[in-house]
Amino acid sequence: MVMFLFLVVALAVVVGAVTLAVVGGGDNAPLPEAEPERLQDSLPPDRPVSRADVDRLRFPLAARGYRMTDVDDALGRLAAELAERDARIADLESALAGARAAAAHLTMDKPAAHPEDDHR
């Protein structure tokens, strides 16, 4: 029984010493605080995002997956650019439809050329 109590106390002392060595120590701690991993190659702020930018995009891993703020920022940027491109495409399609309608209207108003006029 005495031997069992001695082993329990020795185990508690060893666990306590290891815990203090790892956690304690202030600035000279054996395990300093690690900087959280950040997004290295973010989306370019000075130009539109290209397919290659999205292919190169890699999110750093966090304790529970990816850093939510990095993913939210990237998805927000992509969503804004896609909405801008969709609006631009809709404007261009509308302008093209208007130009085609105007061209069709001009061809209907233009009198048809008679084949006899070409021989004179």
CA–CA dist 30, 12 (Å, integer): 21
Bridge partner list, 62: 65
Whether residue 81 contacts residue 51, with contact meaning beta carbons closer than 8 Å, is answered with no
The pLDDT tens digits of the residues spanning 40-88 come to 667 788 888 887 888 777 777 777 777 888 888 888 888 888 899 999 9
Q: Give the type of residue at 74.
A: A
Percent of residues, the chain, with pLDDT higher than 90: 22
